[in-house]
Amino acid sequence: MTGPGAQKANPPRKGRSRPLSGDDVVRAGLQLLDEQGLAGLKMRSLAERLGTYPATVYWHVGNRARLLAQVVDLVLEEIEVPEAGRLAWPDWLAALAREYRRVMHRHPNVAGLVASQLVVSPPAIRLVETVLAVLAEAGMDGQALADAFNAYAGSVIGWVALELCSAPADAGEGWQDDFARTVRSVPAAEYPLIAANIDHLAGQAFALRWQGGSQRPMDEGFEAALRMWIAGLADLLPAPGG
């Protein structure tokens, strides 16, 4: 009765010769995350997209939390680490930060996951080692090295996660316009500096914008933050004469 030509592909079925692999599932999960957001990445939807049943997805990835961790790893592997030795350490750290941000902008919904999970995974560890190598070359060592790494990594990852946060799913149509109006009409008496600089702040500053960084990238803001981090790192270096 359920003959060929199922137009809607509603019953899970698909021309597949090779059996499904864990990698297939994770890759499809990333696609779904990119297209539909974190809430849209449902085990059921994923199964449907793969032409199987939920239990099959579970067989391959364990559960949703593990799937998300693997998706994060997949994205971290997209990061192309700058060549060592060709750049001075400030330029190298800047280049890696830009590359990290570039990859996260390709997968905006992953940025928050990186920041919210306690990831200890091969792709992450590999990145750590390369950053440590550069900081060590700059003259860092021991506790200072660890501190500098945490300061740099935490700033970059955290800042980009903040940039790429998204609007509440709850929000209706006119929501953005409403907020834009609200922000643009803050009372100058109460908030003189916001009012005086409103053209540089409205829609562009944290807590005063109504679009995530995916809709409206904060390119100049990131470059300024990058200058700040790099200049500040130089300050953490042991005195040259030391």
Choosing among its own copies, DNA, none, which partner's interface includes residue 224 (Cβ < 5 to 8 Å by kind)?
A: its own copies
Question: If you ran DSSP here, which 8-state letter would residue 119 be given?
Answer: -
Choosing among its own copies, DNA, none, which partner's interface includes residue 58 (Cβ < 5 to 8 Å by kind)?
A: DNA
Q: What number of other Cβ atoms are within 10 A of residue 42's Cβ?
A: 13
In angstroms, what is the minimal distance from the CB of 182 to its own copies? Answer: 7
Q: Tell me if 98 sits within 8 A of 157, measured CB to CB.
A: no
206 binds its own copies (CB under 8 A): yes
Q: Tell me if 105 sits within 8 A of 159, measured CB to CB.
A: no
C-alpha–C-alpha distance, residues 124 and 200, integer Å: 36
Q: Interface residues with DNA (CB under 7 A)?
A: 11-13, 16, 19-21, 41-44, 52-56, 58-60, 63-65, 170
Of 43-62, binders to its own copies (CB under 8 A) are 62
Give the nearer residue to its own copies in terms of CB position, either 28 or 218: 218
Radius of gyration of the chain (CA): 22
Give the nearer residue to its own copies in terms of CB position, either 45 or 166: 166
Choosing among its own copies, DNA, none, which partner's interface includes residue 204 (Cβ < 5 to 8 Å by kind)?
A: its own copies
In the chain, the amino acid numbered 170 is D
Choosing among its own copies, DNA, none, which partner's interface includes residue 83 (Cβ < 5 to 8 Å by kind)?
A: none
Give the nearer residue to DNA in terms of CB position, either 37 or 232: 37
C-alpha–C-alpha distance, residues 38 and 222, integer Å: 24
Give the nearer residue to its own copies in terms of CB position, either 51 or 132: 132
Stretch touching its own copies by CB under 8 A, among 13-21, 28-36, 90-98, 113-121: 113-121
Question: If you ran DSSP here, which 8-state letter would residue 241 be given?
Answer: T
Instruction: Work out the angle at residue 119's Cα, subtended by the Cα atoms of residues 125 and 224, and round it to the nearest 5 degrees.
Output: 75
212 binds its own copies (CB under 8 A): yes
The residue among 42, 65, 69, 53 whose CA lies nearest residue 14 is 53
